[in-house]
Amino acid sequence: MNKILEALITLNDLDLMIEEIKNPNYRDLGFEIDVQQKLEALEKARDEIRSKIPENILRKYDILKKRYHRGVSPIIGGVCMNCFVRLPISIVSQPHDNEKVETCPNCGIFIYWA
Amino acid sequence: MLENLISEDRVILDLKSKTKDEVLKELLSVLKLPEEREKIVLDALKKRESIGSTGIGKGIAIPHVRSVVLDDVYLVVGLSREGVDFDSLDGKPVHLFFLLCAPPQDPGTTYLLTLGKIAQIARKLARRNDYMDIKTPEEFVRYLLKLEEEEE
Ligand SMILES: [Zn+2]
């Protein structure tokens, strides 16, 4: 897999985790977490991953994240799982190995061919 | 709610794993995800465990994670006769696992409700141990659905 795409996926999953432990409804479920301490560790891990991603891609990720609550989406059966639009057959029919950073032609999200 | 999520082919009654990492992988393998996606989800699960065990005590754990590579909510139930050291709150080995994996959609609501439901069922299970005698996945599914209906 492309290293930047891989970093984007890890970053997005980390962002979800950070958002989760900050959520009071999640905290009410009673999982034992030292939130303050763990949040610092997660944010440090997030900073590390962000440093591996080029500035222009990060900027785009942040915008997508704000708009869709995610920056990366899988393509399953030729359909983007963020906007649920079928990608053009000319794109889908090509071989995909996630070796480059691509975006959905409809919603612009970074895509992962699943 | 649980009815739509639970199925016999996602119940393992004889987990073989002895360690935390192994058991996460064994539970996840039931979903038959392509290798690369499985690795991504497994990494996220391990990271989640590293910030605090999802072993809630009384032999029960609820490992859970959301990942952008997933497209659906998945629940896997696993039983370990021997028990697995899962760094639980009470230090006891875990015998019963509920693995919940979900995509990031709908900023948390459905997923959190499901997680809450499972935690509620786990609290009921913590007061009993008759589930260790269940012999088939079908029976286990029926048992959990019945438990879901019971008053807490
Ligand atoms: Zn899209």
Rounded to an integer, the average pLDDT of B37-52 is: 96
Answer yes or no: do B51 and A73 touch at CB < 8 A.
Answer: no
Model confidence at B110, pLDDT cuts 50, 70, 90, reads confident
Per domain, the residue ranges of chain B are 2-143
Global pTM? Answer: 0.94
Q: Which of B52, B68, B112 sits opposite A32 (nearest CB)?
A: B52
- Average pLDDT over all residues of chain B: 93
Per domain, the residue ranges of chain A are 3-113
Please say if the pLDDT value at position B152 is more than 80: no
Instruction: Give the chain A residue nearest B47 (alpha carbons).
Output: A14
Q: Which residues of B touch A33 (CB under 8 A)?
A: 51-52
Measure A69 CA to nearest chain B CA, in Å: 7
- Span A42-61, pLDDT tens digits: 999 999 999 999 999 999 99
Model confidence at B107, pLDDT cuts 50, 70, 90, reads low
Question: Per CATH, which fold does B2-143 belong to?
Answer: Mannitol-specific EII; Chain A (3.40.930)
Q: How far is the CA of B39 from the centre of ligand 1 (A)?
A: 24
Residues in chain A where the model's pLDDT stays below 70: none
Please determine, for the modelled complex, whether the ipTM score is greater than 0.95.
Answer: no
> From CA A58, how far away is CA A110, in angstroms rounded?
11
Contact (CB, 8 A) for A109 and A64:
yes
Contacts of B23 (CB under 8 A, 6+ apart): B15, B17, B78, B80, B84, B86, B94, B97
User: Active-site residues of B: which are they?
Assistant: 64
> From CA A109, how far away is CA B45, in angstroms rounded?
24
pLDDT of residue B150: 86
- Joined tokens for residue B44: 């996220």
Rounded to an integer, the average pLDDT of B114-133 is: 92
The domain A3-113 having CATH identifier 1.10.287.1490: the answer here is yes
Rounded to an integer, the average pLDDT of B88-115 is: 87
pLDDT of residue A35: 86
Q: Which residues of B touch A114 (CB under 8 A)?
A: 34, 37, 69, 71
